[in-house]
Amino acid sequence: MLEAEAAHIFREVAGEFDRATLLFSGGKDSIVMLHVALKAFAPAPLPFSLLHVDTGHNFPEVLAYRDRIVEKHGLRLDVASVQDYIDKGTLRERPDGTRNPLQTLPLLDAIRDGRFGAVFGGGRRDEEKARAKERVFSLRDQFGAWDPRRQRPELWQLYNGHHEPGEHVRVFPLSNWTELDVWQYIEHEGIDLPEIYFAHRRKVFRRDGMWLTPGDWGGPRDDEPLCERLIRYRTVGDMSCTGAVDSSAATVGAVIAEITASRVTERGASRADDRLSEAAMEDRKREGYF
């Protein structure tokens, strides 16, 4: 039923918008989103392009996965690069080294340059309390900003995609899915994922209570010893703010068993950027983050 609803949302956008793109990070939510989209338009090719905002600190395994899937399905991929903006001097590295907040500007420029009226995101309402308030069709102004007080009411399955030139609509086909739904769907459909979602031995270090991967982005410091642990990732984002969890789950079935028993949310377990303040996600969405 969730799959049928997501397919309905993809087809509504294809029917109503001239140009749309699908935000693809190589994470499990965007992988599932792409899988449903491919099925929704089969046997024809996907009527959308993909867009990846590359922070410059992505996991190499995930980039390799991204390129493999683009090749396999003959998709068109645009890449907006945070590193390019830093090299040009348009964006400045933050003192804490995290690049997640820096994604917003390259994303908005890519949406403007591509003249995209609709941008699909893999966001789910169960992820975070500000996301729980997000519409399936979420109107963004010329600055990409989300205003929770001025959202359009969304009734039945009737989605209103009207927008002015310069505005766009963020569309979340997986709004009603939970983390467990995503994993059960991955199992049912036999979807291939980047290896880092499964248990592997990796050199990591401890910072702010999370296991982080060393890299050019700024870790570890001298007082942060490296050690090798059996870990996996619950979410896949920028290396600087995505933490690994101790895990021996090497298969989809084992991952499902593990998250069913977990007492911590996926974002609580692995996202440093949500901890910046009580309303970190809401504030970033207001600025145009998806």
Q: Which of 174, 263, 289, 290 binds another protein (CB under 8 A)?
A: 263
Return d(Cα 199, Cα 203) in angstroms, integer. Answer: 13
Stretch of residues binding another protein (CB under 8 A), selected from 74-82, 112-120, 217-225, 259-267? 259-267
Q: Which phi and psi angles does 133 have, rounded to 5°?
A: -100, 0
x-marked contacts with another protein along 39-78 as a string, rule CB under 8 A: xxxxxx----------------------------------
Rounded to a whole number of angstroms, the minimum distance from the CB of residue 265 to another protein is 5
Residue 264 interacting with another protein (CB under 8 A): yes
Rounded to a whole number of angstroms, the minimum distance from the CB of residue 90 to another protein is 29
Rounded to a whole number of angstroms, the minimum distance from the CB of residue 38 to another protein is 8
Q: Residue count at the site for another protein (CB under 8 A)?
A: 56
Stretch of residues binding another protein (CB under 8 A), selected from 34-42, 82-90, 106-114, 245-253? 34-42
Residue 15 interacting with another protein (CB under 8 A): yes
Question: How far are the Cα atoms of 51, 53, 146, 159 from residue 281, in angstroms, in the given order?
Answer: 21, 18, 11, 24
Cβ proximity to another protein, 155 vs 228, nearer residue: 155
Give exposure, 234-244, as e/b (b: 16+ Cβ within 10 Å).
bbbbbbbbbbb
Return d(Cα 152, Cα 128) in angstroms, integer. Answer: 20
2-16 and 28-41 helices cross at what angle (nearest 10)? 70
Q: Which of 93, 154, 258, 287 binds another protein (CB under 8 A)?
A: 154
Contacts 24+ apart (CB under 8 A), 38-46: 38/73, 39/3, 39/7, 40/6, 40/7, 40/10, 40/11, 41/10, 41/11, 41/14, 45/73, 45/74, 46/22, 46/73, 46/75
x-marked contacts with another protein along 163-182 as a string, rule CB under 8 A: xx----------xx-x-x--
Binding site for another protein (CB under 8 A): 1, 3-5, 7-8, 11-12, 14-15, 36, 38-44, 125-126, 128-130, 132-133, 148-149, 151-158, 160, 162-164, 175-176, 178, 180, 184-185, 188, 262-265, 268-269, 278-279, 282-283
